[in-house]
Amino acid sequence: MSDVERPDAPDRDTLLQMFEIQSRIKLCDERLRSMLMSGQVRLIYYSPRGQECISAGWGVHLRKDDYVVTIYRGLHDHLAKGVPLRELWAEFLGRATGTCKGKGGPMHVTHPESGLMVTTGIVGAGIPIANGFGLAAQLSGTDQVTVVNFGDGATNIGAFHEGMNLAAVWKLPVIFVCQNNLYGEHTPMSMSTGVDYISERAAAYGMPGVTVDGNDPIATWKVMGEAVQRARSGGGPTLVEARTYRFWGHLMGDAMEYMDKAERKAAMAADPVVLYRAWLIDNAHATEAALAEIEEQVTAAIDDAVEFALNSPQPDASELYTDVFGDESAATLNGASR
């Protein structure tokens, strides 16, 4: 962002709503990383820090009854879809009060009440499933849309190809959001992918494809809005490639030897949340005090959620055997005891 006014910017409420979502993501991430570093909690964590603007960009366009599918690197998407903080933190910590009673964990957060339908740990697998949500909306004649998030690496797996083609053939109301952070695990995109821009792949399916600077919240908001509108009005799917950077490598503890130090330093210096905050103030969309107040409120909500999660019990031992099937007779489980 620069300090120049943007004629393409949305109204002030939307601008602030995006800031609030970004702040939730950034501050949740910072809290969780500090708890991990101090050894207060232990979990496998794929930080989405740096990618906040993308989720906020689609988040403000969606209704509660729209569907979202995401991946292990999903905290930002969970928060952008409105999964409540307490239940989300409790799920991350494997507590009985979590969204999934602690049985899914961060890699499988589900909260249908918020429209967060599936979080998968299998690269690319959410793409075909998202089509099913789109198909359900299409068959029911509703105008619900589905946003499915995945990484650049996921566009090299077969499920992406099958899913993109089916969505195009059936004109499904699905927005395919590739959060291109330039790496898949320890491999830079240039070593795994034959095109410079993921959006080029859309042409192969007869689907519109667009690349946007995913660190530019206004541009991202605009592109997401067009894609959501297309899907909602029966115009079919869109592939959106939002280019960004992951600040903390693949997962916490990653030594990041395979990443260029200067590149990472530059990306972190251009922190999109920090730049957006400055832009809001510089262009008089908000005062410093107003933004600080949003951040304080988010921080207080996180304090509350962390305390709630830490004070919550682990699931009861009997939960091991529930939720395998709907009818949980001993016969269904056939010796589930072992």
Partner 1 sequence: MSEPRIMLTGMAINEAMDIAMTLDPKVFLLGEDIAEPSGGVYKVTKGLSEKHGLHRVRKTPISEQAIVGAAIGAAIAGYRPVAEIMIMDFLAVCLDQVTNHAAKIRYMSGGQTTVPMVIRTSAGAGMGFGAQHSAMLETFAVHSPGIKVAVPSTPADAKGLLLTAIFDDDPVLFVEQMMMYWDKSYAGEVPVGDVRVPFGKAAIRRDGTDVTLISYGRQVHDCAAAAELLAADGVSCEVIDLRTLVPWDEAAVMQSVGRTSRAVVVHEAVTRCGFGAELSSRIHEELFGQLSAPVQRVGSANTPVPYASNLEADFIPTVADIVAAVQRTQG
Tell me which residues touch ligand TPP (CB under 6 A).
Answer: 73, 121-123, 150-154, 181, 183-185, 250
- Give 76: exposed, middle or buried? Use CB within 10 Å, 0-12, 13-18, 19+: buried
Contact set for partner 1, span 85-104 (CB under 8 A)? 98-104
Residue 46 contacts partner 1 per CB under 8 A:
no
Residue with tokens 């008089």: 284
Measured CA to CA, the distance from residue 21 to residue 114 in angstroms comes to 15
Contact set for Mg ion, span 136-165 (CB under 5 A)? 151-153
Pattern 100-139, Mg ion, x by CB under 5 A: ----------------------------------------
Shortest CA distance to 82 belongs to which of 66, 102, 105, 94? 66
Q: From Mg ion, ligand TPP, partner 1, none, which one binds at residue 154 (CB under 5 to 8 Å depending on kind)?
A: ligand TPP
Smallest separation (angstroms) from ligand TPP to the CB of 49 = 12
Q: What are the CA-CA distances from residue 89 to residues 71, 166, 185 (Å)?
A: 17, 35, 25
Q: Which residues sit opposite 148 in a β-bridge?
A: 69, 176
Q: Using the minimum distance from each CB to Mg ion, give the nearer residue, 153 or 236.
A: 153
Q: Indicate the helix (H) or strand (E) that contains 179.
A: strand 174-180
- DSSP, residue by residue, 4-26: S--TT---HHHHHHHHHHHHHHH
Pattern 119-158, partner 1, x by CB under 8 A: -x-x--x-xxxxxxxxxxx-x------x-----------x
Smallest separation (angstroms) from ligand TPP to the CB of 33 = 17
Residue 262 contacts partner 1 per CB under 8 A:
no
Q: From partner 1, Mg ion, ligand TPP, none, which one binds at residue 334 (CB under 5 to 8 Å depending on kind)?
A: partner 1
Q: Using the minimum distance from each CB to ligand TPP, give the nearer residue, 15 or 54.
A: 54
**233 touches 211 (CB < 8 A):** no
Task: Describe the crossing of helices 272-282 and 288-310 by its angle, rounded to 10 degrees.
Answer: 140
Q: From ligand TPP, Mg ion, partner 1, none, which one binds at residue 251 (CB under 5 to 8 Å depending on kind)?
A: none
Smallest separation (angstroms) from partner 1 to the CB of 43 = 16
Residues 6+ apart with CB under 8 A from 255: 249
Q: Which residue is nearest to Mg ion (CB)?
A: 151
Measured CA to CA, the distance from residue 241 to residue 120 in angstroms comes to 20
Pattern 167-206, Mg ion, x by CB under 5 A: --------------x--x----------------------
Residue 74 contacts partner 1 per CB under 8 A:
no
Beta strands 187-188 and 146-151: pairing type? unpaired
Binding site for Mg ion (CB under 5 A): 151-153, 181, 184
